Structures are given as structure tokens and as C-alpha cells.
Structure 1
Amino acid sequence: MNFASIVPVFDPAGPYAGSITTLSWVLIAMAVAVLAVVLAALWIALFGGRRLKARLGGATVVWAGGIVFPVVVLSALLIYGLSLTRNLTAPVPPDAMRVRITGEMWWWRVAYLDRQGQPLMIDANELHIPAGRPVLVELESNDVIHSFWVPRLSGKLDMVPGRRNTLPIQADAPGVYSGQCAEYCGGPHALMGFVVVAHAPDEFDAWLASRRTPRPAIAMEGAALFRSTGCAACHRIAGTDANGTAGPDLTHVGSRRSLGAGILPNNRGTLMGWIGDSQSIKPGNRMPPYKILSADELATLAAYLEMQK
């Protein structure tokens, strides 16, 4: 089961998700009402008396039920829905935090941006935001169509290759909010989860400052093993000579809550299992298995990655 896929869809945690949830309940209620009318008409057609059947088949009912009712109801729902969800397309404050999330097969590349739209910090599969503040998310894809969806924080929006879409999100309170790719993208699509962590504003500022602090080089057996096994060809760790971009950035992997784009809790045991044979955990992902590594070597690599806070 996807570690981050159990999401209470109808439990909004922010204003953008709130308007979508309200609209969803209105549409569900309207669908139930229409179903009730259709079932009543069906009952009359099957079991009603001749007079009721004659009225049901009359021109007035056909015009009212087949044309007037749908036009009026759908027009009202369209106007109501657009007015209710207008906050999704309203401009965010100019000083709002900006993040660029890029869909990959089958994980998420996360870049925190400065005021000019340039990356300040790179991460993967996890986004940290300040609670109570809107955040503008720029959505891109490097391969196929993905769809970014964190149900409790906002609506879903497709990530289309060659195009940049924008989506505002906001969490009213600190917490951990799960998301999921909502557009089939092949292979292990169902195992492409995402996590948003909302901090109290002062805690977020402290977290961001800690991430910007220069990291000392870690010279140890794990670092050497990381290079010699070829991990550095696909992954980046800031402050080292590992500068690969094919796979997720591992600069802060030790502090993430999950592994494999939300499918495993992050601890030493799951790290060892993922490095040793990720294909048995997430079939079809682009990381090759490392079955040639001994248990001691896997433990050494996992310990090294745990230190990447």
C-alpha cells in the first residue's frame, strides 16, 4: 500500500481545498436529487396508473424535464461553481513563497525558488511550507503527463511536458498532508505519492535557515561506497562531488518522512531494502537493484544516507 495514499478527501485543511469540497458536496447532493427524480419517473412508468403515465409522457413534462430543467440546473451550477472556486485563479500575494515541482517517472523533483524564480534549494518527494500562508506551486513534467494532487490543500492540476501550470495551496494549521499523482503515467503510477509538511511560521523559518546552512563534508566509509557503487552518477548530495540529476536529490534524504515517493516510512531498514532491491518494492522504477552489496555494505550506505539531514 502506498505510504502516503490514505487521504481524507472530504476533510479540507485550507481555503483552496475548502471551496472545492463545498462544490463537491453540492454536486453530490444535486446528483442524488436528480437520481431520485429519475427513479420516481421510472416507478410511475412501470407501476403508475394510466393518468400518471399519460402525464409523464406528455409534451409538457418532456420539455420541462428534458430541456428546461437541465439548462436551468446546469447553468446555475456553472455560475455557482465558478464563483465558489474563483480563489483558485486569483493572484497570490507577490511575496508568497514559490516552489517548482517537476513530475518524473515516478517521483517528484522539488525546487524552492527565490523572488526571481531561480532555485534556492533542491529536494525530492516532500514539500515544506509555512502554515497560514498561500504558496504558489509551479508544475512541470520532464517526461509524460502527471497530475499533482494534495486533496486537503487544493485541487488537482496536470503536469504537461513543455508547459508550466500554477496551483495555489495553503494549510491553515501545521500538519502532514499526503498527496498522489492523479493521472495515470505508466509503470508504478499508483506508487507515486507525495508529502506536504506544514510548519508554524517561526518553525518554518528555522527549518529553512537550517537547510541553508553550509554542510560540512562527511568523509567516511559510506561516502566512499556511495561513489564507488555509482550512486553519485544519478543522485546529488550538496557539498560532495555527487551531482547526478537522473534520480532524486539526496541532500536531505535522512530527514524525509518517506522513501520511494511516499511508499515506505523512512528508517534504516527500509533504506537498506530500497537500495538492495527497489524493484521488488516498486516494480518498474528507474533505480537498478544492488543485490551484489552485502548486508554490511547496505547498512553502511543506509547509515550514510541517514546522516543527510
Structure 2
Amino acid sequence: MWPLISTRSAVGDALGGWPPPVLDPAGPYANPLATLSWVLFGGAGLVFLVVLAALWIALFGTAARKEKLGGTRAIWIGGVAFPVVVLSVLLVWGLSMTGSLTAPIRGDEMRVKVTGEMWWWRIAYLGADGGAVLHDANELHIPVGRPVVLELESADVIHNFWVPRLSGKLDMIPGRTNIMRIQADAPGVFGGQCAEYCGGPHALMGFVVVAHHSEDFARLMTARRANIRPPAPAHPDLARGAQLFGSAGCAACHRVAGTGANGAAGPDLSYVGSRQTLGAGILPNNRGTLMGWIGNSQAIKPGNRMPPYSMLSSDDLRALAVYLEAQR
């Protein structure tokens, strides 16, 4: 029997509820998008009322009003001049409001490369020279109150990075690097989603951004860069799980910092035990979901690139889950 698996996750919680995330900004790069959204909603409502008024006149108005409504002047004003003026103003205003989201890199910002893959996210924290200094997957950690430049790339097809409470959305195009800025004004967990259909389990390609106070973020990054890990709780399955991780073939696809596991085909598992979610944002991270994912991820996220491991017993799965929980 598989352990009971809940479908609630940090991404689902962050993207659900009211107000919708796009109307609930949590940083300066999301604020202009929320304003723009409200203006568009208001404009759409106003146009809807105008159309209803025109429809009422066409059905129930006097002959004189019907004649004016169908006249040449009304067509030129309502069908040509009005949309040209309104759409031009919205275009210029919208571009001016959102230009800061994709401004060129200055060189002094925190930089992270995010690579979209079928159907997960590869994370590389970059140093001053642009080289990767730390690797992770499906979860991005940032300091509060500091702009973070994301260098967005794709390893296969077009994806789209979108964390609606922190910034806009931007395509990730193979062979090209696009720039986006995000910033959180307060600590919290912010859900994101791939917003461009990329085949297969596209709808199950979520993402988590975790914002920390500056001091907590600095401690986290320092510890991870030095490969300083909190001591793992003593558990009889821990050593067996480490052995199984190599013998079952996990290390061929996954990396765990400080060990001989250096696989690059799948997500980096160096800190999987501390992540908010599993499977790229679709499951809460606990021992039961780890066991279920390892045993048969295809039953949870059909089409993903991890094969099922039906040959493993429940004791094997538990040992592997215990080992992965210790990776923090």
C-alpha cells in the first residue's frame, strides 16, 4: 500500500485564494503589473457597458438614435479613433511601467540562472564572474528587499517563468537568455508556474520562491557554499538509503553535493530535504510523498522523465526517503 499523498503544496496554496496573486503584489516589480491589470479590468468593464448601451439603443431606441448609432461618424469614432487612441496610450504607458523588469544587468545585483527543462527548473546561483557557485532545483531562495536578476534560459522547448506576486512573466527560449527582475518586500513563500504550454505535464510544472530576512539568507548561502549541513537525525535506514541511492541508479541522474553522486540529467537533490515541495511544486515535501514519488512518479506526474521503480520494496523506499530527508 502506498502512503496517503496529499495534493496540497506551497505552489497550490500560493496561487489559490483571494485576491488572485497577480492582484496581490508582494514586491516593487509586481506592483506596476497589478496596477496595469486593474486598469485593464476597469477599461474592459467600461467598454462592456458602452456595448450594452449601444445594444439597447439598437433594440429599443428611437429611430433618430438608431440612425446616429449606425452612421458614418459613429463608426469612425467608435470603431477607429477610440481603439487606436486607447490602445496606443495603453501600449506606451504599459511599456513605461514595466520597463524596469527587463532592464540590462548592471553588474552589482544578485544573479541567478534559471533553466526551464521538461518539466522542472534548474537553478544556479551565480558569482561576480557569472559562474555558478551553488546549484539547486525547483526552489529559489532570495533576500528580502533586494532586487534579484534572473537569467532565464531553456534546455529544450519554450517555457515561461511566472511568479505573479513578485514580477511579470517572461518566455524562456532555447538558445537565448532573457532577463527578469524579482524582489520580495517581506519574508514568505511565493508560488510560480510555467505559463507557456511546453507539452506533457506542463500544468504540473510549478516553482517556489522563498524570501528570507537578509541575515538568514546570508547564513543559508554561506552554509550551502561551504557544504555545511545540519546533522542528520539518527535513523537505522539512513546508511541503507545512501547505499541504495547509488545501487538503484539514482546517482546516475541526480547530484548530491559532497558525495559521489554527480548526475546532471535530473534535478539536483543536495537540499531536497528542506524544500517546500516535490515534483516541481506539485506535492508537499514529506516522507510519504517522497516514497510515492520514488516508487512511481508516473502515477503522480504522467509523462515526466523519471522512470518508476517498482522493483523497490516499501522498506527500500522508506530508506531512500530517509536519506533524502537528510539532504538539507
When the two structures are superposed, what TM-score results if normalisation uses the length of structure 2? 0.91
Per the TM alignment, residue 2 of structure 1 is displaced from its structure 2 partner at its CA by 6.8
> Which is worse superposed, 81-90 or 234-243?
81-90
Give yes or no for the alignment of 1:5 onto 2:12. Answer: yes
Give the equivalent residue in structure 1 for 2:37.
24
User: 1:128-166: per-residue Cα shift (whole Å, max 9, x none)?
Assistant: 000100000001111111100000000000111111111
- Give the AA of the match of 1:71: V
The alpha-carbon deviation at position 234 of structure 1 amounts to 0.4
1:93: how far off? 5.1
List aligned pairs for 1:171-250, cutoff 5 A: 171-215=184-228, 220-250=239-269
Aligned equivalents of 2:249, 2:302: Cα separation in 1: 21
CA distance in structure 2 between the partners assigned to 1:186 and 1:104 by the alignment: 11
Instruction: For 1:36-55, list aligned pairs within 5 A.
Output: 36-55=49-68
Runs (4+) of structure 1 exceeding 6 A deviation are 216-219
TM-score by length of 1: 0.96
Instruction: Decide which moves more: 297-306 or 58-67.
Output: 58-67
Displacement after TM superposition at 1:22 (Å): 0.4
Structure 1: gaps (5+ residues): none
Q: CA deviation at 1:175?
A: 0.5
Distance 1:186 1:60 in 2: 48
User: Structure 1: which amino acid aligns with 2:283?
Assistant: L
Displacement of 1:231 after TM fit? Answer: 0.5
Q: Distance in 2 between matches of 1:266 and 1:89?
A: 33
Q: Structure 2 unaligned segments of length 5 or more: list them.
A: 1-6, 16-20, 233-237
- In structure 1, the partner of 2:3 is none
Q: Is the 8 A contact 1:92 1:134 kept in 2?
A: no
- Give the SS at the match of 1:16: coil
Alignment partner, residue 282 of structure 1: 301
Q: C-alpha offsets along residues 32-74 of structure 1, whole Å, 9 cap, x if unaligned?
A: 1111111111111111110111111222212211222112211
For 1:260, the equivalent position in structure 2 comes to 279
- Confirm or deny: 8 A CA contact 1:215 1:239 kept in the other structure: no
The answer to whether the aligner puts 1:168 opposite 2:181 as a matched pair is: yes
Q: Distance in 2 between matches of 1:120 and 1:223?
A: 25
CA contact (8 A) 2:101 2:181 kept: yes
Contact 1:140/1:164, CA 8 A, preserved across alignment: yes
Q: CA deviation at 1:214?
A: 3.1
The answer to whether the aligner puts 1:101 opposite 2:120 as a matched pair is: no
- Contact 2:24–2:165, Cα closer than 8 Å, also in 1: yes
* Residues 108-117 or 220-229, more deviating: 220-229
> Quick check: 2:296–2:309 contact (8 Å CA) kept in 1?
yes
Contact 2:227-2:257 within 8 A present in 1 as well: no
Question: Highest relative contact order (Cα 8 Å, sep 6+), 1 or 2?
Answer: 2
Aligned residue for 1:14, secondary structure, equals: coil
**1:87 & 1:215 partners in 2: Cα distance?**
36
Q: Which residue of 1 aligns with 2:99?
A: 86
Per mean C-alpha deviation after superposition, the further-off stretch among 60-69 and 177-186 is 60-69
Give the 3 Å change call, closer, same or farther, for CA 12–87 of structure 1 in structure 2.
Answer: same
**Matches of 1:83 and 1:65 in 2, distance apart?**
26
| Matching residue within 312, 315, 325 for 1:293 | 312
Structure 1 equivalent of residue 322 of structure 2 = 303
